[in-house]
Amino acid sequence: MNCHYTYESKNKDDRRADYWSCIVIHHITLPDIAKIEDVVLMGREEELEYFKKICDFLCSTTSKVSAHYLIGRYGQIAELVDPKKYRAWHAGKSAWWDSKDRLWKYHVNNFGIGIELIGDGNKFEYTKEQYYALELLCRNLILEFKIPHINCLVGHETISNGYIRPDPKPDPGIFFRWNRIYFELYKNLGNEYGLVNV
């Protein structure tokens, strides 16, 4: 899909599977650069500067982390790792319940596309522009990569809880509105992609 910005993160390697099974939602801030309390109040230009710094962080070899996409608080989308070719490094130690194959699958980076939202969903709401951008991006990815149904969309918190790793991940957090994103995707993709019982 055509994104507003395209970067080439160095934190990637070749895809391990010939299909993507799920999409993992994360949040990200850089506390050394700005406190989250300030980020949520940033105007468009200031936030764009911050967005570019996060892109640089996710592309630099020193961070050793990345995601396929980053969504800023004004809805801008950057592609950092091309999911057609590469695996990004976003999920770490993780396990996902595949409700289609009915089994646990480990190492979600191998089969999960990663999307980062700027923010902290345990402290502040995400913006409506972020939900619009996320819905559009997920809809395109689901169609392009034939991801089987919309509950293949999961949070990092779900695939990396205390049973899976000693340092469970908290993102995208309690303020992330799963119902909203599921409903929008369902509305636009239709029954064929509806939620399945797990």
Contact positions vs Zn ion (CB under 5 A): 26, 156, 171
Task: Tell me the C-alpha distance between 96 and 160, whole Å.
Answer: 9
Task: Name which of 120 and 171 has its Cβ closer to Zn ion.
Answer: 171
* HEC sequence for 28-73: ECCCCCCCHHHHCCCCHHHHHHHHHHHHHHHHCCCCCCCCCEEECC
Cis peptide before 172 (omega within 30 of 0): yes
Question: Rounded to the nearest whole angstrom, what is the least distance from the CB of residue 168 to Zn ion in the complex?
Answer: 11
Q: Which is nearer to Zn ion, 44 or 161 (CB)?
A: 161
Considering the complex, state which of residue 159 and residue 185 has its C-beta at the smaller distance from Zn ion. Answer: 159
Burial 74-94 (b: 16+ CB within 10 A, else e): bbbbbbbbebeebbbbbbbeb
CB of 172 to Zn ion, least distance (A): 8
d(CA 61, CA 38): 27
Residue (106 or 183) nearer to Zn ion, CB? 106
Closest approach, Cβ 36 to Zn ion, in A, equals 15
CB of 55 to Zn ion, least distance (A): 16
The one-character DSSP state at 157 is H
Whether 84 contacts 10, CB under 8 Å:
no
Q: What phi, psi does 101 have (nearest 5°)?
A: -85, -10
Closest among 123, 23, 124, 137 to 76, alpha carbons compared: 137
Q: How far apart are CA 126 and CA 141, in angstroms?
A: 21
- Min dist CB 171 to Zn ion, Å, is 4
